[in-house]
Structure 1
Amino acid sequence: MATRVLQFGTSRFLQAHADLFIHEASASGQDIGPITVVKTTQGAERAGRIAAFADPAGFPVRIRGLSGGHVVDAEVRVKSVALAYDAYLNWDQLQDRFSCQTEVVICNTAEAGYTVPEQDRQPSTATGSVPSSFPAKLLRLLVCRHRSNPAPLLILPCELIVNNGQYLRGILSDLAADWGLGAGFLEWFARDVTICDTLVDRIVSEALEPIGAIAEPYALWAIRRSPGMVEPFQHPNVVYTENLETYTRLKLHILNLGHTWLAELWRSTGRAPNETVREILSDAAVRNALLSLYRDEVVPGFAAHELRAEATRYIAQTIERFDNPFLNHRISDIAQNHAPKIQSRVGDFLSWVASAEPSLTLPRLRQLAGSV
């Protein structure tokens, strides 16, 4: 029997990531899907997207960029989504599908989507009208599933939060305590509801109307294995691993660190206000300076944790992503929230390296970390 999926979130990112991967896995003969998509926010915004998801012809995802030194400009018609609900207009149908016709849940509501307002913490939220926050909606649906069909469930959060599965479980557990849910539910939730930590990595640069997306060729969905977990499908861009930290460190301290180093250079040297990553790297001096930073400081830092080969490979992929001729990634956007980004991308890297090899000096990164 097919592994049916319920997805909270209608974003272009999910269309060009999870929805595309599941489409390709299904097309290869795997029993995964279809997907039911759920709009979790109130209002008419994105109502046209909900209607468009129901089109059996699917929706376009255009892959544009560089891969292995070659230009990629292709389109895939994604047909993994069969149905779309508005949580506020279709709550009864959603409860039934979640309880009896779902094996895997995917969510991407952004970090702000995990905020729980005080009214959703009241025990009365366990019944009555549809809760306002995503965690309260999810907990209500879990309670309904436990009562009617307490089958195991796999939840794969895609929010860009470190240890996002553990974080979501903590929020749901606290909310269950606020609602005074019984021991039977809590035991089932702990035993049979698996919530994995994951890392997603793909630049989805543009939405298409009414539905669809433009994305770069590079993509990764790294999922930390949990005890008893059954891998829902296989795909070249999906990795099941016991060591999610390696993938997180590579993205944070190579791709994101490189972005932040470029943003600091752009801020401090008065370059063009609308300059993009591709444009700044067309300056040979800037390109060579970034490459030497990666070679002389970033790679040795990863080598201190025995990850030299992985870092070298990921740097090559990162430079190719930066050179994407179809992507206009403005450095002014990257430079937003600059100080906390320096801490998480550079300061945390220095601390991580020092824990393995205190003698490494890494002067340019230390100078950047000390600039805030």
Structure 2
Amino acid sequence: MTTDIVQFGTSRFLQAHADLFFSESDPPRGVTVVQSSGDPVRARRLAALADPAGYPVRIRGLRGGHRIDETRTVTSVTRTLSTATEWTAVAKAVRDARMILSNTGDAGFDPRAADAGFGPPQSMSYPGKLRHLLRARFESGGDPLPIFPMELIRNNGQVLRERVLHLAVDDTVEFQDWLSRCQWTDSLVDRIVSEPIDPAGAVAEPYALWAIRQAPGLAAPADHPAIVLTDNLERFERLKLHILNLGHTVLAHRWREIGAPDGALVRDWIAGPEGERLMSLMQAEVLPGFAAAGMAEDAAEYLATTLERFANPFIDHRIADISENHAQKLQRRIGAFLEWVRKHDQGFAAPRLAAILSENG
């Protein structure tokens, strides 16, 4: 198995998502996993990830009405490195790579003071480190390559591209041009990974998606049914944001409204009156909104999958956790939905969704 993928990030999400896909693809693909945080506590995880025997991913949930509870073994991680202690080896891995992927957390792209400095200090952000590593590849005569950020940032590929180009403003024009010829891909990832397995591995739901915006000459990272190249990434974004995420926020609004206990779980609510209330709202206002945008069939199918995911008997998904940052989520999930639909149907009415927005200011 060739090791031509360099992955920045060691999270349990990546272990149960991309790394599992690479292990199950035809043919399997090998991955060099790079820890970019430098956290010494995770050293044991790094060693376990590259164990030749592999690490477990337990898939637990519902699919097509049937309970799934199975364990798969991931063997795609062939070696692990750390930017804190093995910078030279990381740079060589990037020089030899055929693609780069990352999931460095919500703050992974945030600028840091060290980004403006010289050399590759560990305190740099991920884009700061990536600039140095790509410049070493360029200076060695390496070709531009595809870069697949998986952070939960809209247009994540273009955001990462702009961050790296901004940091490279004082580099040579030739290197800046080379950077622009890399394929900075936008993508959307989705899978609930509920808990880690020590020292490596994770528990995840059956549903999984890695949707990637198609571009000329771009090949899929691997041959796997969960990986989709699409000319319409917005379709996947709207479905996730305005059905799955919106559904969570409606449940959180109701939880706050009635003062439900902190331990209330999504699966229990879906099985009772609150699930019926949510389904009524989806049928009356959300699905018609998607129909106005020409996505009726997609939305109905995705809603059925979403309700099955909400009902997962193996995941203790607390509504109290969903309600964090509630005001921002209302605007992004409900307010943005109404704004989007009204571009297609100016008079679209959704009184229950509008009331939820108004009740929360």
Could you state the TM-score of these two structures normalised by the residue count of structure 1? 0.94
Deviates more, 1:64-73 or 1:359-368: 359-368
Q: Check conservation: 1:3, 1:104, Cα contact below 8 A.
A: no
Could you tell me which of 271, 275, 286 is aligned with 1:282? 271
1:139 equivalent in structure 2:
131
Q: Which amino acid aligns with 1:152?
A: P
Q: Check conservation: 2:149, 2:156, Cα contact below 8 A.
A: yes
Task: Using the TM superposition, give the Cα deviation of residue 119 of structure 1 relative to its aligned residue in structure 2, in angstroms.
Answer: 2.6
Say how many residue pairs are matched.
Answer: 360
Q: Check conservation: 2:120, 2:132, Cα contact below 8 A.
A: no
Could you tell me which of 318, 322, 327 is aligned with 1:330? 318
Could you tell me which of 264, 267, 272 is aligned with 2:253? 264
The yes-or-no answer on 1:76 pairing with 2:72 is yes
Deviates more, 1:212-221 or 1:145-154: 145-154
For structure 1, which runs of at least 5 residues remain unmatched after alignment? none
SS in structure 2 at match of 1:214: strand
2:14 equivalent in structure 1:
14
Inter-partner Cα distance in structure 1 for 2:15 and 2:129: 22
Inter-partner Cα distance in structure 2 for 1:232 and 1:325: 32
SS in structure 2 at match of 1:45: helix
Q: Which amino acid aligns with 1:8?
A: F
1:116 equivalent in structure 2:
111
Task: Using the TM superposition, give the Cα deviation of residue 150 of structure 1 relative to its aligned residue in structure 2, in angstroms.
Answer: 2.2
1:183 equivalent in structure 2:
173
Could you tell me which of 284, 291, 303 is aligned with 1:315? 303
Inter-partner Cα distance in structure 2 for 1:138 and 1:85: 15
Deviates more, 1:246-255 or 1:85-94: 85-94
1:211 equivalent in structure 2:
200
Inter-partner Cα distance in structure 2 for 1:201 and 1:153: 24
Q: Check conservation: 2:193, 2:203, Cα contact below 8 A.
A: yes
Inter-partner Cα distance in structure 1 for 2:91 and 2:12: 25
Could you tell me which of 150, 165, 184 is aligned with 1:158? 150
Superposed counterparts of 1:87-126, under 5 Å: 87-99=83-95, 101-122=96-117, 124=118
Inter-partner Cα distance in structure 2 for 1:217 and 1:115: 32
Inter-partner Cα distance in structure 2 for 1:42 and 1:181: 26
Inter-partner Cα distance in structure 1 for 2:120 and 2:337: 47
- Identity, % of aligned positions: 46
SS in structure 1 at match of 2:198: coil
Task: Using the TM superposition, give the Cα deviation of residue 357 of structure 1 relative to its aligned residue in structure 2, in angstroms.
Answer: 0.4
Q: Check conservation: 1:131, 1:137, Cα contact below 8 A.
A: no
SS in structure 2 at match of 1:46: helix
Could you tell me which of 230, 240, 243 is aligned with 2:229? 240
1:167 equivalent in structure 2:
159
SS in structure 2 at match of 1:113: coil
Task: Using the TM superposition, give the Cα deviation of residue 33 of structure 1 relative to its aligned residue in structure 2, in angstroms.
Answer: 2.3
How big is each residue's C-alpha offset from its partner over 1:291-331, in whole Å with a ceiling of 9 and x where there is no partner? 11111100110011110000000000000000000000000
